[in-house]
Amino acid sequence: MQALMQDQPLLISSMIAHARRVHPRAEIVSRTGAGTLHRSSYGEVERRARRVANALLALGVGMGDRVGTLAWNTHRHMELYFGVSGMGAVLNTINPRLFPEQVEYIVNHAQDQVLFFDTSFAPLVAALAPKLSAVKAFVCMTDRAHMPAGLPAGTLCYEELVQGASEDYAWPQFDERTASALCYTSGTTGNPKGVLYSHRSAYLHSMGLCAAGSAAISHRDSCLVVVPLFHVNAWGMPYAGAMSGAKLVLPGPALDGKSIYDLLRDERVTMALGVPTVWLGLLNHIDSEARPALQELCLERMLCGGSAIPPVMFTRCRNTLGATLMQAWGMTEMSPLGTVCSLLQSHDKASEEDKLRVQARQGRPVCGVELALKDEAGRRLPHDGVATGRLMVRGPWVLSAYYGSDASVLDEEGYFDTGDIANIDSDGYLQITDRAKDVIKSGGEWISSIDVENAVMGHPDVMAAAVIGIPHEKWQERPLLVVVPRHGSSPTRDEVLGYLASRVARWWLPDDVVFVSELPYSANGKVQKMKLREEFKQLNKPV
Amino acid sequence: MQALMQDQPLLISSMIAHARRVHPRAEIVSRTGAGTLHRSSYGEVERRARRVANALLALGVGMGDRVGTLAWNTHRHMELYFGVSGMGAVLNTINPRLFPEQVEYIVNHAQDQVLFFDTSFAPLVAALAPKLSAVKAFVCMTDRAHMPAGLPAGTLCYEELVQGASEDYAWPQFDERTASALCYTSGTTGNPKGVLYSHRSAYLHSMGLCAAGSAAISHRDSCLVVVPLFHVNAWGMPYAGAMSGAKLVLPGPALDGKSIYDLLRDERVTMALGVPTVWLGLLNHIDSEARPALQELCLERMLCGGSAIPPVMFTRCRNTLGATLMQAWGMTEMSPLGTVCSLLQSHDKASEEDKLRVQARQGRPVCGVELALKDEAGRRLPHDGVATGRLMVRGPWVLSAYYGSDASVLDEEGYFDTGDIANIDSDGYLQITDRAKDVIKSGGEWISSIDVENAVMGHPDVMAAAVIGIPHEKWQERPLLVVVPRHGSSPTRDEVLGYLASRVARWWLPDDVVFVSELPYSANGKVQKMKLREEFKQLNKPV
C-alpha cells in the first residue's frame, strides 16, 4: 500500500532555497587569493546562483551537461555548487593539484561544456585549452579589473557573466536520482575514475553530516572549511551549511598556521574541518609564537580525516586549542562521509588513556552507512574488535558504478569494497588497519603498516614514517620502516627499533630502518607506498 | 542523466538494523504499569521485532495490512513499531484516551487485522470486541501470568506469541513510499481522520529530529519519552532513537511529578520530551518537596510542544532543573516535527529578556519543512515578523491526503493548510498566534487569543486561562477571558483586567472575565474552545 505523504524530491536547490528562507543572513566569509575577506550570505549565494543558472542556460548548458571547476574555497565556488547542480547540470570539481595530463584527462572524460577557473590557474588552463575539445566556454572567476593576461581567446569574466544574467529563475523540480556532481578519484594506478553523485545522495549525506551524533553542523556553528571544495564536495559542507545555516569560513589558498589562526580568531570559528597536516601547522604556529589560543579562540571541535592522525594530536588539540579532535573516515566513492569518532556516554568515566584509545579509532557509522567485514572468500566476519578483513560499505550515498562504465562495482550483496582492511568492535567503532594493497603478509598473517607507523610517530625524532612490505624468501614479506627524521635530529636504526620493540608485537617489528629526507606523496597528500616498495624491493635481509 | 549511486530504500527496518549493528547495547528502559523497571536494548528490540514479524505472518498479516495498538510507552510497544512496519504492515497506534466510540470508529475505519493492547485496556477491548469486525486476533501485551480476566475469547498472550515465533527473519526490502504507520487525528468536529505515513517520511523525519540544529538526538543522550507512543509516533522518537543510539526511557502510565523525577535521576536523563502540563507537575513536585534537582539530575534540554508554554516556565526550567526548555511545533499531519526553537549564535549577547522573547516563539523549520504564510485570498505574505496569515506547510514528511480519501488536501502550490494563524520573522522564527477557528475577529482586525492567554498566565493567581470570541453587535466579536484561579486564591475581574491592561493592546483587552473551576480538555490535552464559546455565547456586553 502506498502512503499518502507529499512526493517532494530531495534536491540540492531545496537546500539553498531553505537557506534563503530560514537563514538568509548567515554568512559565507571567503579569503581571496589577495588576502582580503569577502563577506557574502546564503541569501546572496542563492540569488547569485539563480543568475549563474540563467547565464549557463544562455551558454547552452542543459540538464545533465557537465560543468567543470578549477577553484579554491571561495564564495564564487559556492555559487557554482548551487547554480550548476540546482539547474540540473552536473558540477565537476577538479583537483588543480593533479598533474596537467590528469586535469586534461578529467575535463575530456567528463566532457565538460564550460570550465570555470580561478585566476591562479590561468596558466594551467591556457596550456590545456587547445586539448579540451568539449569545452564551449572558459570563465575566469574574477571581475574585469583582475582578469589575468594570456587567457584562451574568448574567456568570459565571471562577474560580468553573473551580473549580466537575470535573478528571475525558479529552481526546476525533477527526479532526486538525477546526477548532481562528478568527482574524480585518483588511484595510484590507471586513470582517474569519476563518481557521479545524485541530488538524493547529496541531500541524505548532508542530513548525515548535520546529525548531532555525527559532525553536528548547526546554525550555532561557524565552520572553517579547510578541506577543498574541489575535493569530494568539501566533505559535503556547502550543502550541510545551507541545510543547517552554519556560517562558513572559506580560507582560499592560504593554509599556513598564521592564516588559519587569524581566521579562527576573527570569525569566531567553532568547528573546523581538514586534514592533519593543516592542524599540525596551526599547532606549531601557536607554539612558536606563543599565541594565547585558549583566550582568543572559541573552537569547540575539529573534524579530521584523509590520513592517519598521530595520537599525540588529540592531546595537543585539547590542551592548546581547547577543542575536541574528532576523526572521520570516508572516501570519494562515499560522498565521502562514512564514520565519525565521538565518545559514548559510557566513556565519560573512562581514563584519559582509554578515551584516547577510542578516539584513535575511525569512529562509528552514521545511519545510512552500513559497514561489513568480509574475508578473502567473501564470508562475513564478526564485529568483535579482533576479526580483521576487507571493509565493505553499502548505503544511499555510496556509488554503484564509476562514471562512463555500466559495470557495477558492487558484490552480490550490494556492497562496495573500500580497499581498506579493518576491524569493527561491538560498539560499532571502526579501526582501519591498512589499505589492502599496503598490508604486509608475513608467514600467512597480516601486519598492519598503519599500526606500526602510528607507534613510531610517537618517537620525538620521527617526523614522518611509512612501513612497507618487501619480498622475503621464507616469510613471503617482511616490514621495512622508512623514516623522515625531525629537522636537526639524527636517530639511529637501533634507537628507533628499540622504541618500537615495546609497542608492537615482536613479529611485527620491522627488519630494518632506512632514513630518507622526504616521502613521496600523491596529489591528495597520501604516501605513495607503491613507489617506496619499488625503490626498496632489493633491500631485504633474512630475519 | 541518472546518477550512479546505490538505490537503497529508506526503510524503518534499516533504522533498527543499524541500531543492532552499531549500538546493540544502548538501553530501552520501560516502567511497567506495576511500577517496576524493565531493561531492554536495541539489540533485543530488533531480535524480538523479528519474532513479531514471524508471528504476524503466521496470523495471516501481510504487506499493507493494518495492525492496531492500544498501549503505553513500553518496550513491547517499541517492538511493534519495528516488527509491524518492518515486515511491510501498517502500525495503527490508537489513543486509548479517546471516547470508546472513537476507538471503535478508528479500528473499523483502519480495518485493523490484529489488535495489540496493554492489560489496562482489557475492559475497553472486551467491551468493543464484538463491534470490531475486521480484527482476526486480539493480543494482550503481557506474559501468561499477568493475563487479566474477561478478555475476548481466544485472546493471545504477547509473550507466548513472541517467544513461540522464530528469530530467523530477514527484513524485506521494498519501495520506501510504502505505508508504514497510520495515526488518527481527532478534530473537534466530525470523525477522526487518518494520516498514512511512509517509510521514507519516517526515515527523513528521524534525520530531521536528530539534526544538531533541531532536537539533536544522539548516542550521547538518555531521552525520557513522556510523549505517548500512541500519539504521532511519539514525535518520531522510537525511530530517532534507533537511528542515533540514544538511550530511551519510557515512563509507562505514571506521569506524576515524583515518578518523572525519579526516572530523570535514576536513568541519567539528558533530554526529555513532553507536553507542558507534565513539566509543570515535575516543577511543582521539586518545589514542594525541595528536591536538590540541580545536584541530582543531569537534564540538559526539554522539548516541549502540543500547547502554549507559559513564559515563566522557561525561567523555571533553567533555574530549577538547569535545563533549556525548547519549544517545538508540529502536528499529526506533519509526522509531527515542523519547527524547533533554539537561539542563534548572534543571540548569545542578548539580554535574558530578549532571549525569552525568542524562546517564546515556536522556532525555525527543520530543513525538509517549508513554511509559507498566505492571506485569505491565497496570496503569499512576507516573513517580516508582522504580517499574519494562514500557516501553510510543504515537505516530504507532510501528508497529501487523509486515509480512505483520494482527495488531495493541498492547495495548487502543494501546500497543506495547518489551520494555524501565524507570523514568521526574517530569521525564520515562527510565531503561532491562534488557531484559525479560535481567532477573534473584532472590528475587521484579528485578536490573538493565545497572546492574551500567555500574558494573563503571568498573573500569580491564574492557573489556567482561555480567551474566546463571543458575538458582538457592533464589533462582530469581542474577547472574553475564562480563568481557573490557582488553588486557594480568588482574584477579581478588575485585578485580572488591570494586570492585562499594561500587557496587551488596548482593543485586545477582554470585555469581561468569568471564573470557572476547570476548562474542558480534548483527549489530546487541548482546551476545547468550541465548548466554551457555546457555553458563554450569551454573556456578551457592549463595550
Of B5-9, B196-200, B490-494, B530-534, least confident by mean pLDDT is B530-534
Per-residue pLDDT at A189: 64
- How far off is chain A from B6, nearest CA to CA, in Å? 5
Please check the confidence at residue A543 and state whether its pLDDT lies above 80: no
Asked if B244's CB is within 8 angstroms of A213's CB, the reply is yes
- With contacts defined as CB-CB under 8 Å, which chain B residues touch A412? none
Mean pLDDT, rounded, for B271-287: 93
Cβ–Cβ < 8 Å for B337, B236: yes
Q: Residue B266 contacts by C-beta under 8 Å, 6 or more apart in sequence? A: none
Mean pLDDT, rounded, for B519-528: 80
Asked if A219's CB is within 8 angstroms of B344's CB, the reply is yes
Residue B213 is nearest to which of A196, A199, A210, comparing CB atoms? Answer: A210
- The yes-or-no answer on residue A178 being catalytic is no
- The yes-or-no answer on residue B446 being catalytic is yes
**Which residue in the list B104, B136, B160, B185 is annotated as catalytic?**
B185
Asked if A178's CB is within 8 angstroms of B5's CB, the reply is no
Per-residue pLDDT at B524: 66
Residue of A nearest to B11 (CA): A368
Please check the confidence at residue B187 and state whether its pLDDT lies above 70: no
Please check the confidence at residue B179 and state whether its pLDDT lies above 70: yes
Mean pLDDT, rounded, for A123-148: 97
Per-residue pLDDT at A33: 74
Radius of gyration of chain A (CA): 24
Asked if A23's CB is within 8 angstroms of B367's CB, the reply is no
Q: What residue has cell string 531553505?
A: A18
Better-predicted residue by pLDDT, B254 or A140: A140
Q: C-alpha grid cell for residue B500?
A: 492585562
Residue A207 is nearest to which of B5, B211, B383, comparing CB atoms? Answer: B211
pLDDT tens-digit readout, B92-109: 999 998 889 999 999 999
Mean pLDDT, rounded, for A150-156: 96
Taking alpha carbons only, the member of B283, B240, B290 closest to residue B260 is: B283
Mean pLDDT, rounded, for B27-40: 90
Q: What residue has cell string 556509488?
A: A399
Give the distance, in angstroms, between the CA of residue B132 and the centroid of all CA atoms in the same chain.
27
| pLDDT band, very low/low/confident/very high, at B542 (cuts 50, 70, 90) | very low
Better-predicted residue by pLDDT, B531 or A80: A80
Per-residue pLDDT at B534: 87
Per-residue pLDDT at B66: 98
Mean pLDDT, rounded, for A102-113: 97
Please check the confidence at residue B379 and state whether its pLDDT lies above 90: yes
Please check the confidence at residue A341 and state whether its pLDDT lies above 70: yes
Please check the confidence at residue A537 and state whether its pLDDT lies above 50: yes
pLDDT tens-digit readout, A64-87: 999 999 999 999 999 999 999 999
Residue of B nearest to A245 (CA): B213
pLDDT tens-digit readout, B1-20: 999 999 999 999 999 999 99
pLDDT tens-digit readout, A344-394: 988 989 998 899 999 989 999 999 999 999 998 999 999 999 999 999 999
Mean pLDDT, rounded, for B369-383: 95
- With contacts defined as CB-CB under 8 Å, which chain A residues touch B10? 204, 396
pLDDT tens-digit readout, B124-159: 999 999 999 999 999 999 999 999 999 999 999 999
Alpha-carbon gap, residue B259 to B31, rounded angstroms: 10
Helix, strand, coil % in chain B, rounded to nearest 5: 35, 25, 40
Of A397-411, B230-244, B300-314, least confident by mean pLDDT is B300-314
**Which residue in the list B136, B258, B355, B441 is annotated as catalytic?**
B441
Three-state DSSP class for B512? strand
Residue A212 is nearest to which of B177, B217, B403, comparing CB atoms? Answer: B217
Asked if A212's CB is within 8 angstroms of B178's CB, the reply is no
β-pairing verdict for A324-330 and A301-304: parallel
- The yes-or-no answer on residue B247 being catalytic is no
Q: C-alpha grid cell for residue A230?
A: 574541489
Taking alpha carbons only, the member of B207, B264, B325 closest to residue A208 is: B207
Please check the confidence at residue A307 and state whether its pLDDT lies above 50: yes
pLDDT tens-digit readout, A450-490: 888 888 988 989 988 999 998 888 888 899 999 999 988 99
Residue B396 is nearest to which of A5, A343, A367, comparing CB atoms? Answer: A5
pLDDT tens-digit readout, B412-452: 999 999 999 999 999 999 999 888 888 888 877 788 888 88
Per-residue pLDDT at B275: 87
- The yes-or-no answer on residue A159 being catalytic is no
Taking alpha carbons only, the member of A210, A368, A201 closest to residue A303 is: A210
Cβ–Cβ < 8 Å for B536, B482: yes
Q: How far is CA B512 from CA A169, B470, B507, B518, in A?
A: 53, 11, 13, 18
**Which residue in the list B333, B397, B477, B508 is annotated as catalytic?**
B333
Alpha-carbon gap, residue A225 to A242, rounded angstroms: 14
**Which residue in the list A104, A136, A160, A185 is annotated as catalytic?**
A185
Please check the confidence at residue B513 and state whether its pLDDT lies above 50: yes
Taking alpha carbons only, the member of A98, A90, A82 closest to residue A19 is: A82
- With contacts defined as CB-CB under 8 Å, which chain A residues touch B25? 426-427
Mean pLDDT, rounded, for B219-225: 97
Q: How far is CA A304 from CA A204, A378, A521, B210, in A?
A: 21, 31, 19, 22
Per-residue pLDDT at A450: 84
Average pLDDT, chain A: 93
pLDDT tens-digit readout, A9-63: 999 999 999 999 999 999 999 998 778 999 999 999 999 999 999 999 999 999 9
**Other residues' Cβ atoms within 10 Å of the Cβ of residue A182:** 25
Q: What residue has cell string 558540477?
A: A91
Three-state DSSP class for A250? strand
What values do phi and psi take at B426, rounded to 5? Answer: -75, -10
Please check the confidence at residue A190 and state whether its pLDDT lies above 90: no
Cβ–Cβ < 8 Å for B236, B335: yes
Q: What residue has cell string 575536541?
A: A324
| Helical axes B237-244 vs B12-22, angle rounded to 10° | 40
- With contacts defined as CB-CB under 8 Å, which chain B residues touch A394? 6, 8
| pLDDT band, very low/low/confident/very high, at A540 (cuts 50, 70, 90) | low
Mean pLDDT, rounded, for A148-163: 97
Per-residue pLDDT at B540: 62
Q: Most B CBs within 10 Å: which of A11, A12, A15, A22, as the mutation test of the B interface?
A: A22
Q: Residue B133 contacts by C-beta under 8 Å, 6 or more apart in sequence? A: B108
Please check the confidence at residue A541 and state whether its pLDDT lies above 60: no
The DSSP H or E segment spanning A280 is helix A276-289
| pLDDT band, very low/low/confident/very high, at A406 (cuts 50, 70, 90) | confident
Please check the confidence at residue B504 and state whether its pLDDT lies above 70: yes
Better-predicted residue by pLDDT, A471 or B229: B229
Query: What is the interface size between A and B, counted as CB pairs within 8 Å?
Result: 237
| pLDDT band, very low/low/confident/very high, at B543 (cuts 50, 70, 90) | very low
pLDDT tens-digit readout, B72-95: 999 999 999 999 999 999 999 999
